[in-house]
Structure 1
Amino acid sequence: MNSVDAKRVLETALICAPQPVSIRDLRTLFDDALGSDTVKMLLLELQQDWALRGVELVQVATGWRFQSRPEMREFLDRLHPEKPPRYTRATLETLAIIAYRQPVTRGDIEDIRGVTVNSLIIKQLEDRGWVEVIGHRETVGRPALFATTRQFLDDLGLQSLDQLPTLEDPGVQVSMFEALGAIQGAPQSEDTAGVPEDGVQVPAVDEVDIEDAPDLVVGATHSGAEEGPRDIDI
């Protein structure tokens, strides 16, 4: 199979895929006749082929996917003008603390926020697939350790936690929370109390609209992360 046909196969598979596809899985399209380096080279070429279009090919934590470009959102929103759901400030604070301080226990989160963490917030984040228990801290009661998932990275359009912006600049802090608030599909929590004492700061808003998302995935919504929970003891 020549490279043109191979790219057509990859393109079709990725457009039809309901979630990101790893290079390992993409190789099965060719009965493993193409190596990983070759498949990645073809993906990069395909990425360039779509460079001037409203849809782009990107690599995220669990693989490759097609998604609409951010500048297309205002037009796509006209197809679905209904008011989007919101995240509460408490939910965003909790998610950000886990993302930037992981692994953390519920007690760690409460120490940073200065208030009790509503168990419904943790459950909400777990149900959405953004947070998981990865082990237990070896201390009294062996509290659960929470960390973000690969699904969380996928929904932010990131390949790894290293790509999370630093929180040193207040402007970056706001941008980060707007990005978190832009992820679609989660119900809102009623707990809005609490301001973090240190470490993670948040913009001075009670709720964030789930608008201006960084992308719309071509295909169905994401399912859970490919890898199962990691079990560690700290």
Structure 2
Amino acid sequence: MNTADAKRILETALICSTQPLQVRELRVLFDDELGADTIKSLLAELQDDWLQRGLELVSVGSGWRFQSRPELRDHLDRLHPEKPPRYTRAVLETLAIIAYRQPVTRGDMEDIRGVTINSLIIKQLEDRNWVEVIGHRETVGRPALFATTRQFLDDLGLASLDQLPLIESPAQQGALIDALAEAAQPGLPMEEETVEAPIEPEADTDLAELPPAHSGTPS
């Protein structure tokens, strides 16, 4: 099979798929006759082929997919004017803590944020399929351990947690929260905050000292 035919098969499969496809799944298209490195090389060529088009081929947490380019979002949103749910800064800060410190318990999150975390905050993130329970800490009460999901990576357009930006200053922390807000609710402002009960002593959420969690890229 020549390169042009192989690229056309990959292109068609990715465009028609409703979910990202991993390299091992794409190899099935060729009855495993093409190796993983060859598939990745062809995908890189396809990325170049689509550089000047409205769609782009990207690698995200669940695999490879075609998606519309971010700069076209405002135009496409006019076809579907319904608005996604809005999230408070408390929800987004909690999500950032889970992303950077996972796996973490609810108690860990409360220690970092300095306030009691409403159970509805965790439920909102679980309902969005951005976080999940991956186990329990072997301590008194065996509290649940939370981590982010592949859906979280997909929605942020990341292939792995290694691509999370380093947080070295309050300004960068604010930019991260804004990025999460935009991914969760494109074009919408954050919902107004509700008053949260502080934990003594009260502390501000500070992600600057938190190194990103690490996760491998899917293949």
- TM-score, scaled relative to structure 2: 0.83
- The alignment-based identity, stated in percent, is 71
Residues 1:163 and 1:60: Cα distance change in structure 2 (over 3 Å): same
SS in 2 for 1:66: strand
User: For 1:189-221, what per-residue CA distance to the aligned partner results, in whole angstroms no more than 9, with x for missing partners?
Assistant: 9973348624238xxxxxxxxxxxxxxxxxxxx
Which sections of structure 1, spanning at least 5 residues, go unmatched? Answer: 202-226, 228-234
Q: Which has the higher contact order (CA 8 A, sep 6+)?
A: 1
Give 1:82 shift: 4.2
User: For 1:153-184, what per-residue CA distance to the aligned partner results, in whole angstroms no more than 9, with x for missing partners?
Assistant: 11111111111112223332232222211234
Is the counterpart of residue 68 in structure 1 residue 68 in structure 2?
Answer: yes
Give 1:106 shift: 0.5
Q: What residue in structure 2 maps to residue 43 of structure 1?
A: 43
Residues 1:130 and 1:83: Cα distance change in structure 2 (over 3 Å): closer
Checking the alignment, whether the CA contact within 8 Å between 2:89 and 2:191 is kept in structure 1 is no
Residue in structure 1 matching 2:195, options 193, 196, 213: 193
Q: What residue in structure 1 maps to residue 77 of structure 2?
A: 77
- TM-score, scaled relative to structure 1: 0.78
After alignment, is 175-184 or 45-54 more displaced?
175-184
Q: What residue in structure 2 maps to residue 109 of structure 1?
A: 109
User: For 1:72-111, what per-residue CA distance to the aligned partner results, in whole angstroms no more than 9, with x for missing partners?
Assistant: 1122223234444311112111111111111111111111
Q: How far apart, in 1, do the equivalents of 2:171 and 2:192 lie?
A: 27
Q: What residue in structure 1 maps to residue 27 of structure 2?
A: 27
Is the counterpart of residue 178 in structure 1 residue 178 in structure 2?
Answer: yes
Give 1:44 shift: 0.5
SS in 1 for 2:64: strand
Q: How far apart, in 2, do the equivalents of 1:136 and 1:177 lie?
A: 27
Q: How far apart, in 1, do the equivalents of 2:107 and 2:16 lie?
A: 43
Checking the alignment, whether the CA contact within 8 Å between 1:56 and 1:66 is kept in structure 2 is yes
